[in-house]
Chain A
Amino acid sequence: MPMNKSLSKSVMVAALLAFSFLLACAPGAAPQAAKQELRANLAAEPETIDPNKAAFSTQVTVIKQVFQGLLSFNQDLTLKAVVAKEVPSVKNKGISEDGLVYTFKLRDDVKWSDGQKVTAKDFEYSIKRLLDPALAAQYASFYHDIKGAKEYNTALGTPKEPKKPDEATLKSLRGGVAVKATDDTTLQITLARPRNTFLQLMALWATYPVRQDIVERFGAKWTEPPNYIGNGPFKLTEWVHQDHITLEANPNYWGTKPKLQKIVLRMFTDLNAEYAAYLNNELDMTRVPPGNEKQIIADAQFKTQLLRNNEMVTLAFQFNIAKPPFDNALVRRAIATAIDRETFIDKVRSGVGRVAYAWIPSGMPGHQPDLGKQYKFDVAKAKKLLSDAGYPEGKGLPLTSFQYADTSGNRVIAQFLQGQMKDNLGITVNLEPMETKAFQQLVGQKKFQWSFFFWGADYPDPDNWLPEVFGTDGGNNLTQYSNPKLDDVLKKAAAELDEKKRLTLWAEAEKIVIDDSPVVPVAYRERFFLIKPTVKGLKTTSMDATLPGDWFYAEVSRG
């Protein structure tokens, strides 16, 4: 077939054009941040930014900038008063002697971003709304110790025993919640039973004030700008769904005005994309995709941008101890002793994270640095434990399946565990990667055999860590571990009002758990971020949400 001239010519021209485009690609200039602007990646669209409904860290990061509660945390996670005049205590009569009645005195100069005054009524409305069963707030059960709260919040019953109350009943139940604004600057809350950590709960986002008139006027749309009225240092000016959120300094802010004029929260879902955006100066801070840490630590330029901080998150393996072979504590102890955590952190994780032997992470009150050291990596000891359990050299041990939600991080951990078991105990472990929700249901229904999980702090107290996970009726006791001795100590600790005695009791409880080993703590998480050196004054805590330092962005500046 002869050549078709015009056609081949046009193709040639096109190719030439494409090539010259590539040649013309002289390096451009990287994007720049505006003055006093902070650009960060929220990593996902926050599902809601309604303080009462929020449950996930992306949501909390936004809410913390726009709202402020009665109390908040200092950098060392002690409590400070924000909208409240002072942190209530027995001494200043803020807490009654029996630990049941809390009286919050509010500052009278606190304003909403539209200029109106923040009153105790706004807090009363917010807490009652939080407990409204129709709102179905996920953190509502944290506040069930308030008198009347549980009755109102569970008025619809449970999936197994549904109830059908009428409107009037619901209304009277709402009225029965013992949260009362006695005047504009006084909020009184009565508990049904003493709760030591109640003040910490009052520092969480779920109890931040919410404006009744706004919620009722705009309905579900109240969380869109400009309806989203808060009392914090920033206000929401733009929300392009699934793309970015823009916060700007709130001109009506009642406290020290923030130095940052603008915070842009992007929604890069891919970790490599986030990292690339940082390298292209589109972001001022980024996570580092796992696997790159070694290079970054070795790089002189990145070294000055590195931001590492410890988080109160424990990574652990959990056993289903209702089924053999994990019903045998010796098997569990053998496994706990056969995992080389030091190598895991130093080599596999390039030194990111801290080796864990105990459950309660360092940084939290009640952390015991020496607990669990009997499980320090020791192959001979592990083999002996396994043989004592009746499985010398792993012989006779039934094949176990390790289930995990498959992400690239978990995939490495699972294969590491599999290798450790094979090399150190001669045990073959079958890996079962699963889709995340399917895995969560399997674990929730206690049908798993052996799995990986992590537990993070909602507030800095063992109260949030022990009864829920290891108590016989703990809502997250998925190992089905049950020890009456432990239950007894947990009950005493929860009722103890003396701070010192309480911590001793928690320590005793944790020791029982570690001895019985229903879970094997492996590591405490560490945040590994890069941040532009021009960002000044960032203050991280071990309990930040999605972004490091997000409790204190009002104090950050660009220099």
Chain B
Amino acid sequence: MAQAEWHQKSGDDPAAARAHRWTLKALSTAGTIALTFFGLLLVTFLIARVVPIDPVLAVVGDRATEEVYEQARQDMGLDRPVPVQFAIYVRDVLQGDLGTSTLTARPVAEDIARVFPATLELATIGTLIGVLLGVPLGVWAAARQGSAVDQLIRFVGLVGYSVPIFWLGLVGLLLFYVQLDWVSGPGRVDIFYDGVVPPVTGALLLDSLIAGNTEVFWNAVSHIILPATLLGYFSLAYISRMTRSFMLTELSRDYITTARVKGLSERQVIWGHAFANIRVPLITVIALSYAGLLEGSVLTETVFVWPGLGSYITNALFAADMNAVLGGTLVVGMVFVGLNLLSDVLYQYLDPRARQ
């Protein structure tokens, strides 16, 4: 009711009405984020509850006396009711405390901050490759719908959708590292360059440039090129497919016919008109693809022994280090939510229709 009155009152003031709409939208978005985040926490908390590992036993060892065990249980807050435990968990996470890793004996948050840049570096370069190649290929395929080029690009996409990433990584290593020796093998950098450059951003390519150490830089390039190209290929498969589909929808619209009738060149029609209108939905696609690569990092990093978040989670998994596993899961989930939100906000900002 109040809302309707508000609209009536502000009917003669479009600026105020728009501000009001924006506030409502921002509140609703914030609510969604908070709820999703809460859901993420609930899921990770519940997973931790059903683990068959006794966390107290893991700390005190199986020779501890009854009293020591009980003391540790109370210290860890495990004697409290489950909802209280959850509240404590939420409070800790909000304060940036993800618990201590039993594997590294360091706070999980610190561990993640240390390994995450390596994952980001890989996923960012992969996405760059995917966007720089995938978008033009998708546009090209749409412009020549049904041609041999279109079929080829669709086939490349289909393979990308179907091939197991870890297997392609192994085949890539076999071919380009073992057989041809074009690239360096697993790892981020050759062992004797390890730790040479002081970490500033955590991304080795940037750090080596900042330190002015071109030797390390080129060595790091030779290591990252294969996994990044691989991720780029998966990103390309998705982006080119979506670009093609968006372009085909756009090219079938009436204004395109008008543009052609008034004598614009095909280049102007495709890039100036049709492509201009798919930029906004493409942003969502790129954000999702980036998120997908972060997820795919678990497998890629295992294959390439890349010291990132994916490797961290899998190693923790085998050491039954639940704090580390769930902390990593939570961080990836948050990045996912964050990227979705970012694409939503950009969509609102860039597409005038979405603002209405």
The answer on A and B forming one complex is no
